[in-house]
Amino acid sequence: MNIDAKVLSLLANCEFHSGELLAQLLSVSRATIWKSIKKLRESGLDIYAVRGRGYRLADPIELLNQASILEALSPEKRMDIKKIDVLWEVDSTNKYLLGLARDDQEGGTICLAERQIQGRGRRGRQWISPLGGNIYLSVLWKLPFGPAQLSGLSLAIATSVVDTLHNIGLKEVGVKWPNDIVWRERKLAGILLEIGGESAGPSFAIVGLGLNIQLNKEIAADIDQPWVDLDSIAKKPIERNKLVAELISAIIQTFNRFEHDGLKPFLPKWRQYDQYAGKSAVLHLENESIPGVINGIDDHGSLLLEYNGKITRHHSGDVSLDVRHNAT
């Protein structure tokens, strides 16, 4: 474990720890502790220092732990998992698994990180991924057919993420096409699906989930759309390792179901969770923006947009609400 991770795990309980005690416990110098605290603060963590008492984290944090995640998984789900790599820091958990997929790593390989330096979002965007208790989770899965048959998979995964959040009491969470997880029209989580393989199969899919739990407001100032985190909307503290285990179970279950039945069984749920149907919106494509009223999705997961009585079908793009028409 890297020294910053060790310092943070000692501070995680939100009690005061003197620099001297931390140095003693970790067998390093006080200067090393000081440097580590500085780095953790620069990463966005709020750490107080009080003369005579030491350092204290402003908000408690449950660090990711492979053993706790495995323990929270049912024995049946554990059988589907080849390995779980829990990293302190990585460029991107998706990119990490992409490297393993190319080396023919088996499906059921999972990567989590406390922080991503180059978190990837959809359409080449960045996913802001600071330290501080969010979830950056990727799952690698192998499927017997070609990548072309994977369209709709990310919508299916989105419904399973919403199910998981409903199960912990967050009933107002829903989806926004194609696979954003939203709460009252603010983005709570995003899914990035990266696929590859032979056109006739087999293929691999990497599902990357970024879920805001405790997002530092200053760092999040760079996010270009309304957002929210779980800590602001949940009634009780989030048990991060338990939630990760539930998300992994839901994602694996979705892969298994999708492999046999495709998107079809997930369509009713997606339509039930769609928070944007009937709203005026703008669909942003690479070189143009198309206005219209959202008419839900077709059975393949394409967006249906109605404009001047005509419905058009779209496979890609980003939707934003047209505030002029939806104003109350």
Q: Under the rule (CB under 6 A), what is the footprint of ligand BTN?
A: 92-94, 116, 119-122, 125, 127, 136-138, 180, 190-192, 208-210
The sign of the dihedral angle between the CA atoms of 185, 135, 156, 303 is positive
Write down the least CB distance from residue 297 to ligand BTN, Å: 17
Question: Which of helix, strand or coil describes residue 137?
Answer: strand
Residue nearest to ligand BTN as judged by C-beta position: 190
Nearer to ligand BTN, 190 or 262 (CB): 190
Cβ distance to ligand BTN smaller for residue 36 or 116: 116
Q: Which is closer to ligand BTN, CB of 55 or CB of 177?
A: 177
Shortest Cβ 181–ligand BTN spacing (Å) = 9
Calculate ∠ Cα 222-228-233, nearest 5°. Answer: 155
CB of 114 to ligand BTN, least distance (A): 12
C-beta of 81 vs 157, nearer to ligand BTN: 157
Q: Is the Cβ of residue 83 or residue 125 nearer to ligand BTN in the bound state?
A: 125
Shortest Cβ 59–ligand BTN spacing (Å): 21
φ/ψ (deg, to 5) at 295: -110, 25
Query: Min. distance of Cβ 291 from ligand BTN in angstroms?
Result: 22
DSSP result, 69-131: HHHTS-HHHHHH-SEEEEES-BS-HHHHHHHHHHTTPPSSEEEEES-BSS-B-GGG-B----S
What are the distances in angstroms from CA 178 to CA 75, 158, 230? 32, 9, 21
